[in-house]
């Protein structure tokens, strides 16, 4: 579905401009200029701005389809984050549709769309967030550092100030809530940055965000920069000061926390810290640092539902296909594991000897009641809700069919098994190829051969191929059927649960000739079948990506 079909006022696709009868930009009924702080009356509250679906998804291989984005957005709402940056609407039909759908169906958080200081971008963002009403936010950005001004934009300071003023004013004419970000702020001359912040607020920005776009900042220096801005720009008393830190030097969380101590009251980041290059600030770490150290942060707090943190991490991991390291703070499998005898002894005597937070507070623990092949659809649906999945009836039916299939092959179906089946079912776009049959012969004294049958709508397609091993033979057969030639760049297989009958989950990344890494995921008790499912999933995603070609280059702030 194209963007032009997704909103209530006419839209000129060629210019990306929303039009009313006179041909001018259509404006909503905007309230008089008031501070957005009225939505957050407690000055000690840190607003949590989640950009998992925008900056997080820009990580190579992390692209999500609409169904996956919706699951992430719903879980973010359950976790009670304050703002969801749902995408970059002008970049493609798919991004516009995702932002518009999230703005329509996800209630609670502010829904934000990103835009450059370009009229078409701003108008597209306004149209995409329109269903959110007063909860809609347009996030406008423009580079300000000397290196960006000279080599990327080729513009002087005066031109930057003019462009940002025009961009923010246009956005403010279309939405009450407007955020401005000076891209590469941490490398911008402080006195010019103060001018930029002042100009953005005067133009109508209700939030001003200070990005450490390339992860260059040091915590002490970044904290000093935030303090400097608060001292130099008195207008910040009427706006929210935000930070957006990248992890190129491993300091995104440290920089964000230093900024909070210096007076920033919005932190932008992603769950699990996913994002371009080394990633973004890991929100779960900031949230729990503030909660765990009141001696440092005093009355500063967030309103995130802490017990949803682990569930949110797992939903993001499964929907994005990006694995969480076992040693990852807060949400890694080893975060609360103790192997040392001395540590175990201390934990048994008093948990606080080696744990600074209760794992139950972030969602660890709880009794897992495994399902069996005899469990009904209602029991399975109840477990899905417990795991954070809110699926329509059509998808429930698909998952239940796979659940019964897996239940016949193993004694118990655990929560992780069920989540893997949901991921497998949701990751395939509609009107896609589905695996119907696979037969493989392989051994030390025979040439590996695979016969694969795929379905697409009412059609059945079958072919065979040899290969360098059973998995390669299956993929070669799929290539012959789909007329694609994917190059496997990454392949990972994991046992979802323990035991010899464990469900195997395959995650792979493939290049189909355009240089873009496409993630595929599949699950089965048979590793060869799981591999074939994962590769078919990657083929479907590659086809979807081809149909929704990017219209403008993606930018990071």
Q: What is the pLDDT along the chain (557 residues), one digit of tens a residue?
A: 344 443 333 333 333 333 333 333 333 333 333 344 444 444 799 999 999 999 998 887 777 889 899 999 999 999 999 999 999 999 999 899 999 999 999 999 999 999 999 999 999 999 999 999 999 999 999 999 999 999 999 999 999 999 999 999 999 999 999 999 999 999 999 999 999 999 999 999 999 999 999 999 999 999 999 999 999 999 999 999 999 999 999 999 999 999 999 999 999 999 999 999 999 999 999 999 999 999 999 999 999 999 999 999 999 998 888 889 989 999 998 887 644 454 445 545 566 676 778 888 898 875 556 788 888 888 888 888 878 788 888 888 888 988 888 888 877 888 888 888 887 777 665 558 999 999 999 999 999 999 999 999 889 999 999 999 999 999 999 999 999 999 999 999 988 877 777 888 898 999 998 878 888 888 888 999 999 999 998 998 888 776 554 444 556 68
Q: In the CATH hierarchy, which fold is given to the domain comprising 43-320? A: TIM Barrel (3.20.20)
Alpha carbon distance 102, 88 (integer Å):
13
- Would you state the structure tokens that stand for residue 454, as one six-digit string? 């795929």
In the three-class reduction of DSSP (H, G, I as helix; E, B as strand; rest coil), residue 517 is classed as strand
Q: Against a cut of 0.75, is the pTM above it? A: yes
Residues 6 or more apart in contact with residue 255 via CB below 8 angstroms: 212, 217, 218, 219, 222, 243, 245, 281
Alpha carbon distance 531, 539 (integer Å):
12
- Would you state the structure tokens that stand for residue 495, as one six-digit string? 């046992």
Q: What is the pLDDT of residue 259?
A: 98
Beta-bridged to residue 243, according to DSSP, are: 210, 267
Q: What is the pLDDT of residue 411?
A: 76
Q: Does domain 434-547 have CATH number 3.40.30.10?
A: no
Given 3-state DSSP classes, what are the helix, strand and coil percentages for the chain, each rounded to the nearest 5? 45, 20, 35
Residues 6 or more apart in contact with residue 149 via CB below 8 angstroms: 143, 155, 156, 157, 160
Residue with tokens 């507070």: 361
The answer to whether residues 176 and 205 touch, using CB atoms and an 8 Å cutoff, is no
Q: What is the pLDDT of residue 448?
A: 96
Find, among 417, 410, 423, the residue nearest to 372 by Cα. 410
Alpha carbon distance 449, 474 (integer Å):
8
Q: Could you give the angle at which helices 470-482 and 527-547 cross, rounded to 10 degrees?
A: 30
Q: Parallel, antiparallel, or unpaired: how do β-strands 434-443 and 446-456 relate?
A: antiparallel
Residues 6 or more apart in contact with residue 480 via CB below 8 angstroms: 463, 465
Alpha carbon distance 318, 14 (integer Å):
36
Q: Parallel, antiparallel, or unpaired: how do β-strands 136-143 and 177-183 relate?
A: parallel
Q: What is the pLDDT of residue 33?
A: 37
Alpha carbon distance 138, 128 (integer Å):
10
Find, among 383, 45, 40, 414, the residue nearest to 238 by Cα. 40
The answer to whether residues 368 and 413 touch, using CB atoms and an 8 Å cutoff, is no
Beta-bridged to residue 183, according to DSSP, are: 143
- Would you state the structure tokens that stand for residue 140, as one six-digit string? 């406008």
Distance from the first to the final alpha carbon of the chain: 28
Burial (CB count <10 Å: 0-12, 13-18, 19+), residue 326: exposed
Beta strand residue intervals within 369-516, DSSP E: 434-443, 446-456, 459-466, 487-495, 504-511
Distance of CA 499 to the CA centre of its chain: 32
């Amino acid at each position: 579905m194209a963007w032009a079909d997704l909103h209530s006022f006419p839209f000129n696709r060629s210019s990306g401009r929303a039009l009313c009868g006179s041909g001018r930009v259509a404006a909503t009924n905007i309230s008089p200029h008031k501070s957005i702080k009225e939505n957050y009356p407690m000055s000690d509250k840190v607003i949590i701005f989640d950009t998992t679906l925008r900056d997080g998804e820009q990580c190579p291989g992390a692209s999500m389809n609409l169904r996956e984005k919706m699951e992430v957005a719903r879980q973010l709402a359950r976790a009670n984050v304050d703002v969801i940056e749902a995408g970059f609407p002008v970049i493609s039909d798919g991004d516009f549709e995702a932002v518009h759908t999230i703005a329509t169906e996800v209630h609670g958080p502010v829904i934000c769309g990103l835009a450059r200081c370009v009229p078409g971008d701003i108008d597209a963002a306004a149209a995409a967030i329109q269903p959110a009403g007063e909860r809609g936010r347009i996030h406008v950005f423009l580079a300000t550092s000397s290196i960006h001004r000279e080599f990327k934009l080729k513009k002087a300071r005066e031109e930057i100030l003019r462009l940002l003023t025009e961009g923010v004013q246009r956005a403010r004419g279309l939405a009450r809530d407007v955020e401005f970000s000076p891209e590469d702020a941490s490398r911008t001359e402080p006195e010019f940055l103060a001018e930029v912040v002042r100009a953005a607020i005067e133009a109508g920005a209700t939030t001003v965000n200070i990005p450490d776009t390339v992860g260059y900042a040091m915590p002490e220096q970044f904290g000093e920069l935030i303090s400097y801005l608060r001292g130099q720009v008195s207008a910040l008393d009427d706006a929210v000061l935000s930070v957006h830190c990248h992890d190129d030097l491993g300091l995104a969380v440290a920089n964000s926390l230093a900024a909070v101590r210096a007076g920033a009251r919005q932190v932008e980041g992603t769950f699990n810290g996913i994002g371009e290059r080394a990633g973004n600030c890991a929100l779960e770490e900031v949230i729990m640092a503030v909660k765990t150290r009141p001696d440092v942060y005093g009355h500063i707090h967030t309103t995130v539902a802490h017990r949803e943190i682990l569930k949110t991490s797992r939903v993001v991991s499964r929907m994005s296909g990006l694995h969480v390291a076992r040693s990852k703070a807060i949400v890694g499998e080893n975060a609360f594991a103790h192997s040392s005898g001395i540590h175990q002894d201390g934990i048994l005597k008093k948990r606080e000897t080696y744990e600074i937070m209760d794992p139950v507070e972030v969602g660890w623990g709880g009794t897992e009641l495994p399902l069996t092949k005899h469990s009904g659809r209602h029991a399975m649906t109840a477990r899905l809700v417990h795991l954070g999945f809110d699926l329509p009836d059509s998808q429930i039916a698909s998952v239940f069919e796979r659940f019964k299939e897996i239940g016949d092959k193993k004694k118990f179906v655990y929560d992780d098994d069920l989540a893997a089946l949901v991921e497998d079912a949701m990751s395939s776009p509609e009107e896609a190829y589905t695996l119907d049959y696979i037969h493989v012969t392989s051994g030390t004294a025979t040439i590996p051969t695979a016969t694969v049958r795929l379905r697409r709508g009412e059609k059945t397609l079958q072919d065979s191929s040899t290969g360098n091993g059973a998995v390669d033979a299956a993929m070669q057969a799929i290539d012959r059927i789909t007329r694609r030639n994917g190059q496997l760049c990454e392949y990972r297989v994991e046992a979802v649960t323990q035991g010899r009958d464990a469900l195997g989950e395959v995650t792979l990344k493939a290049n189909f000739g355009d240089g873009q890494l496409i993630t595929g995921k599949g699950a089965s008790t048979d590793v060869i079948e799981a591999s074939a499912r994962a590769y078919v999933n990657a083929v479907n995603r590659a086809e979807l990506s081809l149909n929704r070609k990017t219209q403008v280059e993606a930018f990071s702030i």
